[in-house]
Chains A and B, each alone.
Chain A
């Protein structure tokens, strides 16, 4: 049986993706910071689905983590054919109200860790081709969001990276997908923030993590490049993509002033 590696797979959208993959009989290697969360997820997945779950606790924002993970996979000679980069940091705190360290952590978790894992695990993925890389971007990667300046920038970079990577890894039969979901209610604080910022419409657009995970995994296995789960989110992102970036940014500024 082949293995799927999920960075940030213990909670939230990452866990839902893990479930969707477990349902499809993939063994799972979950990576996250908190060992307790990992153990809970492991137990739940193993008892519910008849698969093997292995866990590795490490902080993906640290530069040495990617090499550690790659070594772990090579040492265990795991046949990995799915890599999912779901670890990400967002939240209400963003430029200019964040500290220098918070800025660094956000960039290294959202962008650097995904780049490093793709880079170091590529040989393994190539061996067990056809394989899949799934990067979790965000709708914020389609157009700049002034209140989430750093977050949107890192997600845009991840989207660009995924586009290029798909082109580069096509000959090796590795399919690259970038999921760009709208709001997903993974924890109460996100629900609160979404309702506060986008109101009724945001609530309508939001998805449950389980639904989003299922849709994203299905699209990934179908070899899609971009997946935006949810109908309303799809419509919104269509407009975000066709309107000029400057227009979208200005519109948000005007709306916020009111």
Chain B
């Protein structure tokens, strides 16, 4: 309900693309969850390459900030839509918005996702459900509803953002890693389903990305020095992700150290990795207990 109201509001305030201006001829990229973090990094990398952007997120103020910054720096056109992607109605509403304006959509990035330091045992059930909605469902739903538009503007690209957590189960991030594995699996399947339609599907699986202070703290606590070495900033991740997406790579793991770790994680039996992650989680729990 809320999303519908917000959509109506945004429709009224969204500026139409002025006809005849050079930037209306540019191809568009839609970034779901593009106002902050990795999503913003990806938006920058796309803007640099001359794409007009449609950014979707929950908060208008961060969206406006991102819009101003991107338009000033890269001289592109940015549309913003305020929407909670976890709602049922969002994907359909977004597709309708794009179809009505006949947007030349060439790139779809599903970045919106929810995670945290701990989930299954410390979050309420509603948050776990929200995670499924946002991390898995919204990605599948947008791919489904925007597929006709992407097909029309082929060759086009879908970039789903998963995580290294999607390669092996992490006990203390139980739901997060389960939902991300679904995104990885979905991307693999989707790539071959859409191959004949000339839509290339990529899946970004980064290790730790320092998008906010709490992640820096959590990474250092759980993975120590190694985690800190492996971590990247969102700008680098966005740039690598976009570059590889246009090269039609399927699985994208930015950073050498992250690449090495993820190939080991994928190679070893899941049970080993799960137990290893599990003991790392226990250690950090003990540490926080003694420190408090």
B177 CB within 8 Å of chain A: yes
Does A160 lie within 8 Å of B189, measured CB to CB?
A: no
Within 8 A of B (CB), among A166-186: 166-168
B92 part of interface (Cβ distance < 8 Å)? yes
Q: Are A144 and B193 in contact (CB under 8 A)?
A: no
Q: Is the interface of A mostly helix, strand, loop or mixed?
A: helix
Known: A96-B147, A164-B120, A168-B121. A157 touches B193 (CB 8 A): no
- The residues of B that contact A149 with a CB separation of less than 8 Å are 185-186, 189-190, 193
* Residues of A close to B171: CB separation below 8 A: 163-165, 167-168
- Asked if B74 is at the interface (CB within 8 A of a chain A CB), the reply is no
Question: Are B88 and A154 within 8 A (Cβ)?
Answer: no
Q: At the interface, yes or no: A246 with Cβ under 8 Å from chain B? A: yes
Residues of B within 8 A of A158 (CB): 178
Contact A157 B178, beta carbon cutoff 8 Å: yes
Is B129 among interface residues, defined by CB-CB distance under 8 A?
Answer: yes
Known: A96-B147, A100-B92, A149-B189. A112 touches B178 (CB 8 A): no
Contact code string A7-33 (vs B, CB < 8 Å = 1, else 0): 000000000000000000000000000
Residues on B with C-beta less than 8 A from A104 are 88, 137, 141
For residue B189, which residues in chain A have a CB less than 8 angstroms away from its CB?
Answer: 95, 144-149, 152-153, 249
Q: Is the CB of A165 within 8 A of B137?
A: no
Interface residues on B, range: 35 or more
Q: Which of B252-282 contact A (CB under 8 A)?
A: 266, 270-271, 274-275, 278
Among candidates B91, B141, B188, residue contacting A246 with C-beta atoms closer than 8 Å: B188
Q: Which of A147, A159, A161 counts the most chain B CB atoms within 10 A?
A: A161
Are B144 and A167 closer than 8 Å at their CB atoms?
Answer: no
Are B136 and A144 in contact (CB-based, < 8 A)? Answer: no
B-contacting residues, A235-255, CB 8 Å:
244-246, 249-250, 252-253
A139 at the interface (CB under 8 A from B): no
Q: Count chain A residues whose beta carbon lies closer than 8 angstroms to a beta carbon of B.
A: 45
Contact string against A for B residues 145-184, beta-carbon threshold 8 Å, 1 for contact and 0 otherwise: 1010000000000000000000001111111011101111
Instruction: Decide if B109 is an interface residue (CB 8 Å cutoff).
Output: no
B192 and A249 contacting across the interface, CB-CB below 8 Å:
yes
Contact with A along B122-147 (1 / 0, CB 8 A): 00010011001000110011011101
Q: Is the CB–CB distance between B190 and A112 below 8 Å?
A: no
> Inside 8 A of A160's CB, which chain B residues have their CB?
169, 177-178, 181
Measured CA separation A104–B189 after assembly (Å): 18
Residue ID in chain B nearest A154 by CB atoms: B182
Residue B250 at the A interface, CB < 8 A? yes
Q: In the complex, are the beta carbons of B136 and A157 less than 8 A apart?
A: yes
In whole angstroms, how far apart are the Cα atoms of A28 and B266 in the complex?
39
Judge whether A96 and B137 touch: CB under 8 Å.
Answer: no
Whether B251 sits at the interface, judged by CB under 8 Å, is yes
Which residues of B approach A to under 8 Å, CB–CB?
Answer: 88, 91-92, 120-121, 125, 128-129, 132, 136-137, 140-141, 143-145, 147, 169-175, 177-179, 181-186, 188-195, 250-251, 266, 270-271, 274-275, 278
Q: A146-B193, A246-B250 provided; 15 other pairs, C-beta below 8 A?
A: A111-B132, A111-B182, A119-B128, A146-B191, A149-B190, A152-B189, A160-B177, A160-B178, A163-B274, A164-B169, A167-B171, A167-B278, A168-B278, A245-B184, A252-B192
Closest 9 CB pairs of A and B: A149-B189, A144-B188, A163-B169, A164-B174, A157-B182, A167-B171, A160-B178, A153-B182, A146-B192
